[in-house]
Structure 1
Amino acid sequence: MTKKQVPPVELLHRRASLRRSAAAILAGIGFGAASPVHSSGEPMPFVLNADFIAKHVEPKIKMPKGAHALTSYKRYYAVDRSRAGAVSVVGAFIHDVSAPGVVIVEMDDLPRRLDGGCDVIDVRYSVAARRVLSARCNGVA
């Protein structure tokens, strides 16, 4: 073996290490993992922002039958963390053509209405599954 040649076993170890590094990098930017991973290996907390909503949540929402256009609602979003660690984005949409748009709030500040028909839409998006779990009109009192 010359100085520049590397034994085949060491090459395999290097390749495996590169694959693990690439997977960690891709997971950190959102490919293959629900949330980025800190260099310590611990998952970083999910932070909701308007960009995430525009790119991942709203394009996947199928409005329920009888609902208005998505953009005609004031859309309130919050992060819901279960005790088991699951992270969901919860939305409460209130039909308001005079002031539509997106508002990010804490779970306790999410508007809660028990009626309103399709003037009020409740949405739940799973961050891990990357899909809308439900989008439904409220009942009518």
Structure 2
Amino acid sequence: MKLNILFIGLPMVLCAAADRPSERQALTDEIERAITLPDGAQPLNAYGRNYAFDGQGKVVATYLIPLLNTSLDEGCEVMLDNFESRPCTQNEIRELADAGASMAASQTPAGEVRWHDSPKSLHFINDGGCTQINVEYDVTARRVLAVECNGEA
């Protein structure tokens, strides 16, 4: 009976152990050695890599190419209700710059890894093809379940 309890508890122990930073790094390395990126993907270091435990013995991840900071010197226009546009005001340009800086700060830089508390807090984009790679890894089986480019509209 004792053996059964230990065996059943083993996946929980593995996930709990992998919760420490050095174990997370070892698990990250294990996953990244095991995956083959899909056709059309960039090299692994081009992506900011975001990981989280799903609470069911798996790790889910999103690998994202960081958005480039666009220059507001390129022009800023506001679309009007009549489908015409007008130049942005200085205040609107400042607001856009602040929003862009905030978005850039929240991204995982290319080549870096971040672990998140929950899959719900993983960064993602809609569509985007291989700008986002979705990964699922079974910790107990030590096996990649999925590596796919995000969909395209």
TM superposition score category, shorter chain reference:
0.5 to 0.7
Bigger proportion of residues as helix: 2
Q: Report the 3-state secondary structure (helix = DSSP H, G, I; strand = E; otherwise coil) of the residue aligned with 1:115.
A: coil
CA RMSD in angstroms, aligned pairs only: 2.6
In 1, are the aligned partners of 2:124 and 2:132 still within 8 Å (CA)? no
Seen in structure 2, the aligned counterparts of structure 1 residues 34 and 59 have a Cα distance that, compared at 3 Å, is farther
TM-score, structure 1 as length reference: 0.62
Of 96, 106, 119 in structure 1, the residue corresponding to residue 117 of structure 2 is 106
- Change over 3 Å in CA distance of 1:106–1:44 after alignment to 2: closer
Verify the 8 A CA contact 1:73 1:97 in the aligned structure 2: no
Higher relative contact order (Cα pairs below 8 Å, separated by 6+ residues):
2
Specify the SS of the correspondent of 2:145: strand
- Contact map agreement 1:72 1:97 (CA 8 A) in 2: no
Superposition pairs of residues 97-136 of structure 1, within 5 angstroms: 99-100=109-110, 101-107=112-118, 108-136=120-148
Q: Please, which runs of 5 or more residues in structure 1 have no aligned partner? A: 1-19, 28-32, 37-42
Instruction: Tell me which stretches of 4 or more aligned residues in structure 1 moved more than 6 Å.
Output: none
Aligned match of 1:13: none
TM-score (norm 2): 0.57
Query: Where does residue 43 of structure 2 map in the other structure?
Result: 69
Shift, 1:35, TM fit:
5.6
Displacement after TM superposition at 1:112 (Å): 2.8
In terms of Rg, which structure is larger?
1
Quick one: structure 1 residues 113 and 46, their matched pair in 2 at CA, closer, same or farther if it must change by over 3 Å?
farther
- Does the aligned pair in 2 maintain the 1:76–1:103 contact within 8 Å? yes
Alignment pair present for 1:45 and 2:13: no
